[in-house]
Structure 1
Amino acid sequence: MRVDGETGIIPLRAMTAGEILDAAVALLRRHAAPLLTLALALSAAEQLLLSQLRTFAELSPPLYYWRITSEDIDWVPVVATGLATEAFIIALLGAVAGAAAGPALLGRRIRDRDVLRRSRPLTALLVAAILAVITFGAAVAGFIGVIFVYGLAGLAAAVLTVDRTANPFTAIGRAVGRCTRNGMRGVFLRLLGYLVWLAIRIALGSGWIVAADMVTSVAGWSWWLDWAVPIAWALANAVAYAALGCLDAVLLLEIRIRTEGLDIAVNRARSLGKDPATALAVRR
């Protein structure tokens, strides 16, 4: 780890929604290699799983992956699985981003392999699995609960690696507490970020599918569309998931600055000649 200075790519102050989104993209750009590699691997596995489920349920192949028709009667488990895998992947990427966000806030550069080592992979997997199970249950129960699960508890993996919490349940509880402060500002910002990146990935995924459909229709390779759909969405989702993981990490730090005085604690540690990284860990 190397100190670049006291100004990091994540501002040490309260931010607007636009600044939070910008800082998340800056964090993704700095650590693109581990985040995008992991995101692409997980997105590809997700699309492989969903493709098999769609085939088993005999769902029609759509232009947009979640379009359903009146003849599709077994779509609920497939869509619920898709939402659960999204929650799982974003949580894992949030843990990795959280490991990088603290040094980024302090103006330090950390090597990519050190980011992965600091991400607490085993505990992060447990947090991600818990969130996936809860999300699947909420989806099967009527889908509206998914919004609350995502908005309230989704920061748990980032809490795990930024706060260095003792266990997954403490991380989930603390995530809910942080997101409900200031009139549930954290919930609304997390949902806003999701909607922004949903629009982007729909544009990317649909665009690639339309292009593939045009090419394969001209060449007479209509069978290729069955491969183009999951490939297009895997690529689009990989970027979006990585960005959303970074958004979680940045949003967590911003909430702590706004409501807990994290910026004051960091500056106090610097003035006393102490390592400001000690201000990031929450020992309660």
Structure 2
Amino acid sequence: MTGGPGWGDPQPPGGPNPSDGRQQPPPPGWGQPQPPPSGGNQPPSHPGGNQPPSPGGNQPPSPDWNQSPPSGWNQPPSGWGQPQPAGGAGQWGPLPQAEKPGIIPLRPLAVGEILDGAFAALRRSPAVMIGLTFGVTTATQIVAAALTAIGQRGSTGLALSLSIVDIIINFVVIVALTGVLSVAVSELTMGSSIQIGEVLRRVRPRLPGLAGLSVVVALLTLIGLIGLVIGGIFVAVALVLATPAFVLEGGTIRTAMRRSWTLVRGAWWRTFGILLLTSIVVAVLLFVLAFIFGLAFTAASDALTDPVSGDFTGPGLALNAIMSIIIDTVIMPVMASVVVLLYVDRRIRLEGLDMTLAQAARERRAATGQGYQ
């Protein structure tokens, strides 16, 4: 279990049941957050969501993302509380006020709020979001540089085979890193911080499954691409939420894929559009970084590449690895955060998850004696 007590065996209200994938009607009142109660009284606890601190006293209650909103807490504020259509389109007019304990307000998110939340995650927890990514990508690029060096000295077939291996390694690392960062982003939505050691402790039991999930998603996407490019894109978007579902809810690879399919269903175009917009933002950042490194390559091209074969020299491989590390460290946390926030947004829209998160944030604030960040 990576998300703390109560994150497994999801049975969300008004949402899909992972055991059969069927959609249930939304609960009354849609489960919107309430203002903190006056007089210091805490709201009634929801099942499994009021976990006491650990004996060490340093673990606040963990949110139970898979339980129904508590009774008596299902009356939304004025002007809000109607279920969103399946495609995620809301009513015209300004978005309602909502609690914001962390990087996002606890209500259905606008596109700009998802992107803003992704960058806020980097600002709020750079040690985890950037530090973990830097460590993982550094190890990955060392392996990639070694494979490139071996391929340059071997036959064309060997070079091609090692390139495929490098692509597979990178894909697995991206999925695994998204899963690891899912824990950090989920905590940041609650206004809580988390250390690298705690993130690794929570996600360690799920790492083998994450590797398997990445392979399955890659194969299904490849099958879709072989059939038709559009098919590959459709499958990739439909399964994009499988990683946070697998890490935060537990369960099997099949359950996580079914959860993603069900959450994206009815909002495929919106999900695709947000991912495409994020890719454009990332492409702009990538262009700036590539331009800077391109100048370095141009200025020292004789020392970085072999003038006869065009292969990288030792310094060229090192500079290429450093460039890839910096680019991945900037880009990957943003993409991972957007995926996790899309997952949270879909569960808020379909299952009233904002109610559970708002209450859990209050319980944490009361347990730790700290205000919202």
User: What's the TM-score, normalizing by structure 2?
Assistant: 0.57
Tell whether the 8 Å contact from 1:257 to 1:263 is kept in structure 2 after alignment: yes
Query: Which residue is equivalent to 1:251?
Result: 342
Shift of 1:215: 4.3
Query: Which residue is equivalent to 2:193?
Result: 109
Q: Describe how 1:60-71 pairs up with structure 2 within 5 A.
A: none
Query: Which residue is equivalent to 2:111?
Result: 17
1:175 equivalent in alignment to 2:260: yes
- For 1:195 and 1:132, locate their aligned partners in 2 and report how far apart those are by CA, in whole Å: 26
Tell whether the 8 Å contact from 2:127 to 2:196 is kept in structure 1 after alignment: yes
- Stretches of structure 2 lacking an aligned partner (at least 5 in a row): 1-58, 62-98, 306-312, 366-373
- For 1:25, the aligned partner's letter is F
- Identity among equivalent positions (%) equals 23
Query: Which residue is equivalent to 2:242?
Result: 156
In 2 relative to 1, CA 234–146 (structure 1 residues): closer, same or farther, beyond 3 Å? farther
SS at match of 1:200: helix
- For 2:338 and 2:163, locate their aligned partners in 1 and report how far apart those are by CA, in whole Å: 24
- For 1:57 and 1:39, locate their aligned partners in 2 and report how far apart those are by CA, in whole Å: 26
Query: Which residue is equivalent to 1:185?
Result: 270
Shift of 1:245: 1.6
Query: Which residue is equivalent to 2:325?
Result: 234
Shift of 1:250: 1.4
1:251-281 deviation digits (Å, cap 9, x = unpaired) = 11111112222123445x469x8779xxxxx
- For 2:151 and 2:343, locate their aligned partners in 1 and report how far apart those are by CA, in whole Å: 39
- Stretches of structure 1 lacking an aligned partner (at least 5 in a row): 60-71, 277-284
Q: Describe how 1:1-284 pairs up with structure 2 within 5 A.
A: 1=59, 7-55=101-149, 58=152, 81=165, 83-118=167-202, 120-132=203-215, 134-135=217-218, 138-139=221-222, 142=226, 144=229, 146-162=232-248, 164-215=249-300, 217=302, 223=313, 224-267=315-358, 269=359
Tell whether the 8 Å contact from 1:205 to 1:233 is kept in structure 2 after alignment: no
Tell whether the 8 Å contact from 2:297 to 2:304 is kept in structure 1 after alignment: no
Shift of 1:2: 6.0
- For 1:81 and 1:19, locate their aligned partners in 2 and report how far apart those are by CA, in whole Å: 37
Tell whether the 8 Å contact from 1:127 to 1:156 is kept in structure 2 after alignment: no
1:86-117 deviation digits (Å, cap 9, x = unpaired) = 43223222222221233322233334432332
From the CA coordinates, give the structure whose radius of gyration is larger. 2
CA RMSD, 1 decimal? 3.6
- For 1:152, the aligned partner's letter is A
Query: Which residue is equivalent to 1:281?
Result: none
Tell whether the 8 Å contact from 2:220 to 2:235 is kept in structure 1 after alignment: no
- For 2:262, the aligned partner's letter is G
Tell whether the 8 Å contact from 1:155 to 1:248 is kept in structure 2 after alignment: yes
**Structure with more of its chain in helix, by fraction:** 1
In 2 relative to 1, CA 105–226 (structure 1 residues): closer, same or farther, beyond 3 Å? closer
- For 1:95, the aligned partner's letter is G
Tell whether the 8 Å contact from 2:141 to 2:324 is kept in structure 1 after alignment: yes
Shift of 1:199: 3.7
User: What's the TM-score, normalizing by structure 1?
Assistant: 0.73
Query: Which residue is equivalent to 1:63?
Result: none
